[in-house]
């Protein structure tokens, strides 16, 4: 899915915009849950989204807590021939949305309700019906853990402060452009303290890397040709030209750095080596955490467990 702000689209996209089908996302909270689910489902239509065979626009309306605004949005959806996906904690709001959509023949879906109901039966407890704006669970243990993790991770980006490696939950080792920084901050958002250590020709790895618990170290590797492609696309997106000469030398230096990485990984066989080529950040994160559990717990079926 090629994603961009509709507002910043150029003339070409403008034409598509009118042809595109709209999905309205409405939440009394942030809307991120529904957006996440819609994005995953849109993955099922990648085959026609890429060539804009079935162009789609999403419009996210967050913080919708009163019925008047809700009705205005649904009216607008009717005008734009949009469908409506909603997460509304107050059952009367959810019902109002459902009825209005029915009345105006808009296709709609309650994303939160079925999940809440299923959990309610499982727990034998009733949902509060209160939206996240009303309940206040931000200042808990988890909040501090997450903030600590993010601050730690930013301070320990790109090999900084190697003397603190043992304080990290996860240590990522790899050559440039394997996405160490984005992966680190993604894991940090999930509460893990991450340090990342670059592999650079001619620069020694910090001694501490070989002294810490090796179960938290992960190697990242990438296909050199694809990596080269990434670097080129990146140079292009930055408006930089790339002559054949530089391309060739880059590919060579990339290959050399990757050879070095492979040698280091071979010398440290206890580090799992994760192939990041053509994986999105969140996919690599899932692989890291799966292996993390496996190495910490020795479970046959790795899982990420949490208690609430």
Ligand X SMILES: Nc1ncnc2c1ncn2[C@@H]1O[C@H](COP(=O)(O)O)[C@@H](O)[C@H]1O
Binding residues for ligand X (CB under 6 A)? 27-34, 40, 43-44, 46, 87-89, 112, 130-132, 135, 137
User: For residue 38, what are its two tokens?
Assistant: 């819609």
User: Interface with its own copies by CB under 8 A: which range of 23-31, 96-104, 208-216, 264-272?
Assistant: 23-31
3-class state of residue 88 by DSSP: coil
**Residue 266 in the binding site for its own copies (CB under 8 A):** no
Residues β-bridged to residue 23: 58, 83
Q: Which of residues 66-105 bind its own copies (CB under 8 A)?
A: 69, 72-73, 76, 83, 85, 87, 89
Closest alpha carbon to 82 in 110, 49, 106: 106
Q: Which of residues 225-264 bind its own copies (CB under 8 A)?
A: 226, 229-230, 233-234, 237
Distance of closest approach, residue 30 Cβ to ligand X, in angstroms: 3
Distance of closest approach, residue 130 Cβ to its own copies, in angstroms: 8
Q: How far is CA 257 from CA 59, 121, 199, 230, in A?
A: 43, 55, 7, 16
**Residue 142 in the binding site for its own copies (CB under 8 A):** yes
The smaller minimum CB distance to Mg ion, of residues 1 and 15, is found at: 1
The smaller minimum CB distance to its own copies, of residues 256 and 283, is found at: 283
Cβ atoms of 217 and 269 within 8 Å: the answer is no
The smaller minimum CB distance to ligand X, of residues 30 and 223, is found at: 30
Q: Which helix (H) or strand (E) holds 40?
A: helix 32-42
- Neighbour count for residue 110 (Cβ, 10 Å): 21
Closest alpha carbon to 254 in 273, 282, 277: 277
Spell out where 16-164 has E strands. 21-27, 56-61, 83-87, 108-110
99 interface partner picked from ligand X, Mg ion, its own copies, none, CB below 5 to 8 A per type: none
Distance of closest approach, residue 105 Cβ to its own copies, in angstroms: 12
């Amino acid at each position: 899915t090629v994603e961009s702000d509709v507002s910043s689209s150029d003339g070409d996209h403008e034409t598509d915009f009118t042809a595109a089908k709209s999905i309205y996302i409405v939440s009394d909270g942030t809307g991120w849950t529904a957006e996440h689910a819609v994005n995953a489902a849109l993955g099922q239509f990648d085959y026609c989204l890429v060539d804009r065979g079935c162009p789609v626009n999403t419009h996210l309306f967050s913080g919708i807590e009163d019925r008047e605004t809700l009705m205005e949005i649904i009216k607008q959806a009717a005008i734009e021939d949009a469908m409506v996906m909603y997460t509304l904690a107050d059952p009367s709001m959810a019902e109002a949305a459902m009825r209005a959509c029915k009345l105006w023949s808009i296709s709609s879906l309650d994303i939160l309700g079925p999940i809440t109901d299923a959990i309610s039966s499982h727990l034998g407890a009733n949902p509060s019906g209160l939206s996240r704006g009303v309940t206040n669970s931000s200042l808990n243990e988890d909040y501090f853990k997450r903030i600590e993790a993010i601050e730690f991770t930013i301070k320990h980006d790109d090999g900084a402060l190697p003397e603190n490696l043992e304080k990290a939950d996860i240590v990522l080792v790899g050559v440039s452009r394997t996405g160490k920084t984005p992966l680190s901050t993604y894991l940090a958002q999930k509460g893990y303290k991450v340090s990342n250590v670059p592999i650079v020709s001619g620069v020694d790895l910090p001694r501490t890397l070989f002294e810490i618990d090796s179960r938290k170290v992960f190697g990242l590797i990438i296909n050199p040709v694809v990596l080269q492609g990434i670097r080129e696309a990146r140079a292009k997106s930055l408006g930089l030209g790339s002559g054949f000469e530089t391309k060739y030398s880059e590919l060579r230096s990339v290959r050399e750095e990757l050879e070095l990485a492979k040698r280091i990984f071979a010398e440290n066989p206890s580090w799992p080596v994760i192939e990041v080529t053509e994986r999105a950040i969140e996919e690599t994160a899932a692989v890291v955490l799966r292996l993390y559990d496996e190495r910490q717990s020795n479970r046959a079926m790795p899982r990420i467990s949490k208690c609430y």
